[in-house]
Amino acid sequence: DPIEKNQGNSNNEYGIEINKIEQLLNSTTDLIKLSEGIYEVFIRAFGKDTFKKSKSECKEIAQILLSQKVIKKIINDWDPIDLFPGAPDDEYWTEIEEIEQLFRFTNNPIKLSEAIYKIFVKSFGEDTFKKSESECEQIAQVILSQERM
């Protein structure tokens, strides 16, 4: 929550700001531009007295968003349960968030591939998710080959 907890705000109340950040994310892959943009969006919306996050914290948020964007493209292109083109492009969002969290903390392709396999089996079951552990290892390699933001 970008605003102090005692303000009573929830993430649902930030629709305008989220839309502006999504526009920024769609227009740049530059970490500095995105982090500065996130900071400015919230400063303009709430002012410095209310928005208590630092520029460094905004950079961390930008890093996560950029990583999620890259992983989303990789996973959607892979389309592990053949949903596209009929499904919305956020169909794998829960799995992408889990993969991104692991990506931040590991460079180990085996560990990441095992996690990818488990994430998709947990989400869709073995009857629907039919990719092999070897295919998950290939995807893990592609994800790990991406430049870390």
pLDDT in tens, 6-38: 444 555 677 889 899 999 999 998 999 999 999
- Helix axis angle, 55-78 relative to 93-105, nearest 10°? 120
- Helix axis angle, 93-105 relative to 133-144, nearest 10°? 60
- Angle formed at CA 103 by CA 9 and CA 61, multiple of 5 degrees: 30
Mean of all residue pLDDT scores within the chain: 90
**Residue 134 pLDDT class (50, 70, 90 cuts):** very high
pTM confidence score: 0.83
Q: What is the percent of the chain with per-residue pLDDT over 90, rounded to a whole number?
A: 78
